[in-house]
Amino acid sequence: MTVVDVYNMEKEKVGEIELPEEVFGVPVKKHVLHEVVVAQLARRRAGTAAVKGRSEVDRSGAKLWRQKGTGRARVGDAASPIRRGGGVVFGPQPRSYDRKVSKKVRKSALRMALSDKLGEEKLIVFDGFSVPDAKTKTFAGAIKKFDVRKALIVTSEMEEGLDRSSRNVPWVKVMKAEGLNVYDILTHDHLLIDKSVVGKLQEALVS
């Protein structure tokens, strides 16, 4: 196991913790991370884009003018795709963009993402990150002591003061351990996790 320091909000060392190798020490495979991230982003797409076809537009079905004798081109009804206001040919219809990724692969990718952050020395373990006065200034000051930018903070429980004080800090995201995912880990430069989260991650990812 890898032993790392545990800090308080003042960035003072208050202890140490062992990080399980099966969660924080696995080889990183980029193609697995890519597969999971693509699936995660695809799942966020609404898939609601839609247009009306020839049979759905509100147009008369009558022939606009007779077939012969006018000197004009032959024509059908007003719903023809070549006319303004007509239907659209092969336009988008509501669909699902979901990509199936097995639970085993998702867990593996999450372990790799955590291992990557630890390997790059961008993982910080803290003990009880709380903001009693729920002020943004207090929260931002505490974060700056850790000298991090674009940080992801993971806690066991969403403490109200921490949640409220972090909302107006655009380069920090706070979430519960249950919502931790590969995309957020990889898109944030630093990962700060409560020491109580380590046990939950080991329980959830080692099976």
Of 196, 124, 203, the closest CA to residue 159 belongs to 196
- pLDDT tens-digit map of 23-66: 999 999 999 999 999 999 999 999 999 999 999 999 999 999 99
pTM: 0.83
Q: What percent of the chain has pLDDT over 90?
A: 74
Mean pLDDT of 66-85: 94
**Whether the Cβ atoms of residue 128 and residue 8 lie closer than 8 Å to each other:** yes
Please give the pLDDT value at position 49.
96
**All domains of the chain, ordered by start, with CATH?**
2-46+99-205 (3.40.1370.10), 51-91 (no CATH)
- pLDDT tens-digit map of 174-188: 999 999 999 999 999
CA–CA separation, 134 and 152 (whole Å)? 18
**Whether the Cβ atoms of residue 186 and residue 118 lie closer than 8 Å to each other:** no
CA–CA separation, 159 and 169 (whole Å)? 16
